[in-house]
Amino acid sequence: MEFCDECGSMMKADDGLWECGSCGYTEPKGDADQYVITDDQEVGEIIESSGETSLPETDAICPECGNDRAHWYMQQIRSADESETRFFICTECEHKWREDDN
């Protein structure tokens, strides 16, 4: 499902294009490698991360290195009637682990 960049309405598929029924805006349909690259973009351009994250931090013991701080987030990975899974990422070694409700 796609949403219009211009007005936010739901777009519908029409012959290789996504078309907005409200304002008429269209864009190519398909994988990202099928999109047209403009002159100001470089093919294969790599954007490097600064290493900083916007994830919240909490007290959690890393099972890998024993550090006591970790970033965390929650994600629904099972059926909707089950609780979310908490994921932790160590602030020192970047080991990732999860905590499930049993």
**84 annotated as ligand-binding:** no
**100 annotated as ligand-binding:** no
**7 annotated as ligand-binding:** yes
**86 annotated as ligand-binding:** no
**93 annotated as ligand-binding:** yes
**22 annotated as ligand-binding:** no
Largest Cα–Cα separation, the chain: 56
Cα torsion 56, 58, 60, 62: sign? positive
**62 annotated as ligand-binding:** yes
Rounded-to-integer distance, Cα 56 and Cα 73, Å: 8
Binding residues for Zn(2+): 4, 7, 20, 23, 62, 65, 90, 93
